[in-house]
């Protein structure tokens, strides 16, 4: 079966593993790529402590990129942290170019200053806006984005600002642009993959389903919690920029309570502690002070598997 995403990214199966903030590392990403998908290093890949230095962040990324290269000869990707003033972007962009990483993920910001050096170095660009819209999809196509990720409200992490489910967002974006679209949000088994393709997606971008795997660096108690949970267990609360969902922890219950008592989005975001809550909750397994964010597609996840088993399951139509 011809598949544009496989051709563009030089991969065997049209699946990308989401670069989840603290819970990726070289071993995990290489396992995804070795199984035929595209593994992605997250912003804090392989790390356990926080740094506020763009240069340290970039050098940490270089180390993890080099480790990944030692573990796979298949393509993999790296996240470009694109902030308003590009402070964090330039050092990582330089590392990605120097290390010849074949694919980058850009979240949300289209900036010619970033795109030009990537294009000049033949680095493929996967673009994933926080909230997919017809407008930013068309803008991404004009910018020369290679693959567009359409994320529905079903996802884990920072959910889109508009409450449009994955299976409503896919055909809307597919009909608006000609570049290939990947579906993201709530895909937990092959049925979600088939539904995505039926709606016009040419690949899937998945996060939560890859957390309860043997190679993922998430804490073992977190993996088991995901296996034991269903979508009905998820808590949701307002925060910046819109909403967030988490499995029940002391912190997530407190955030829901704050929301119900009328706290502002700003106050709830402050109480969350930013992405540090993921590090505490999901990497360290601390269910008191952290949160465990996953998408609504967790219900069919019934065991801790290898990365290869997950990809073989989701991509069984491409074997």
Q: Residue range 143-166: average pLDDT?
A: 95
pTM of the model: 0.96
List, in sequence order, every beta strand (DSSP E) within the chain: 15-17, 39-41, 76-80, 103-106, 124-127, 147-151, 158-159, 181-184, 203-206, 235-238, 243-246
For each of the domains in the chain, give its residue range(s) and CATH number, in order of start: 4-214+301-318 (3.20.20.70), 235-293 (no CATH)
State residue 1's pLDDT score. Answer: 63
Summarised one tens digit per residue, pLDDT across range 165-212 is 999 999 999 999 999 999 999 999 999 999 999 999 999 999 999 999
Beta bridge partners of 246: 235
> Of the ranges 51-60, 77-86, 115-124, which one carries the lowest mean pLDDT score?
77-86
State the CB neighbour count (10 A cutoff) for residue 232: 7
Contacts of residue 24, defined as CB under 8 A and 6 or more positions apart, other chains included, come to 17, 39, 40, 41, 42, 45, 46, 216, 217
What mean pLDDT is reported for the chain? Answer: 95
């Amino acid at each position: 079966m011809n598949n544009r995403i496989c051709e563009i990214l030089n991969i065997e199966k049209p699946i990308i593993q989401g670069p989840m903030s603290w819970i990726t590392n070289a071993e995990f990403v290489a396992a995804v790529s070795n199984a035929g998908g595209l593994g992605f290093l997250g912003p804090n890949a392989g790390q356990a402590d926080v740094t506020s230095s763009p240069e340290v962040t970039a050098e940490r990324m270089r180390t993890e990129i080099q480790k990944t290269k030692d573990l796979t000869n298949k393509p993999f990707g790296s996240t470009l942290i694109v902030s308003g003033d590009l402070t964090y972007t330039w050092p990582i962009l330089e590392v990605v170019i120097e290390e010849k990483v074949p694919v980058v993920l850009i979240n949300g910001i289209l900036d010619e200053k970033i795109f030009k050096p990537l294009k000049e170095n033949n680095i493929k660009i996967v673009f994933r806006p926080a909230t997919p819209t017809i407008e930013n999809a068309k803008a991404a196509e004009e910018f020369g984005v290679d693959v567009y990720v359409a994320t529905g409200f079903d996802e884990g992490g920072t959910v889109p600002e508009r409450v449009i489910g994955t299976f409503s967002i896919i055909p809307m974006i597919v009909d608006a642009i000609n570049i290939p679209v990947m579906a993201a949000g709530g895909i937990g088994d092959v049925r979600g993959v088939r539904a995505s393709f039926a709606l016009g997606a040419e690949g899937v971008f998945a996060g939560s389903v890859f957390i309860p795997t043997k190679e993922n660096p998430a804490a073992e108690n977190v993996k088991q919690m995901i296996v034991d949970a269903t979508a009905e267990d998820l808590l949701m609360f307002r925060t910046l920029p819109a909403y967030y969902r988490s499995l029940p922890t002391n912190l997530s219950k407190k955030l829901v309570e704050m929301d119900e008592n009328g706290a502002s989005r700003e106050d709830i975001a402050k109480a969350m502690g930013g992405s540090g809550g993921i590090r505490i909750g999901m990497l360290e397994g601390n269910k008191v002070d952290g949160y465990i964010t996953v998408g609504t597609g967790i219900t069919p996840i019934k065991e801790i598997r290898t990365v290869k088993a997950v990809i073989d399951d989701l991509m069984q139509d491409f074997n």
